[in-house]
Amino acid sequence: MACYKIRLLISGEYPVQSTAASKRRRYLELNQKYLLEAEKLLDESDFVQASEKYWAAAIEIVKAYAAENGKILRIHRELRDYIRKLGNKHPKLELMSLFVDAEALHANFYEDELSPEGVEKYSKSVKAFNLRMHGLLLEDKEESPR
């Protein structure tokens, strides 16, 4: 029975008592946690672990924005599709391009193929992505009725 509930939870079909605001808040907390950890790992020249933390920070900010808008994203493809649509809505922000750099860091966690300079370059993309997503969150807050 527990395995069945877990499968339902993962698929999004099991009712979870959680508000969009609490999910958003948790995702934002994780986003900040992962960014800080990534910076520390980068300073320590642990480029593989830093890569994955930057990736984690990027997906958490996407999940925060999605939760704010009533959507729960659980798998990589959903994240990518969501960013593609958001990027089409806000083309000047170049969200998809920055997200692709975050994906390169995710791949680096498994392959360890990026140079230290590459990790540093893509980490800057993740930081830019993060700022732009935070900006969208703030925009939505200002536009929503009180």
- The pLDDT assigned to 113 comes to 97
The domains found in the chain, sorted by start residue, are 19-138 (1.20.120.330)
pLDDT band at 131 (very low <50, low <70, confident <90, very high): very high
Please tell me whether residue 107 adopts helix, strand or coil conformation: helix
The residue type at 24: R
Q: How many Cβ atoms are within 10 Å of 99's Cβ, its own excluded? A: 25
- Residue range 44-59, pLDDT digits in tens: 999 999 999 999 999 9
Rounded to whole angstroms, the Cα distance separating 18 from 100 reads 30
What is the chain's alpha carbon radius of gyration, rounded to the nearest angstrom? 16
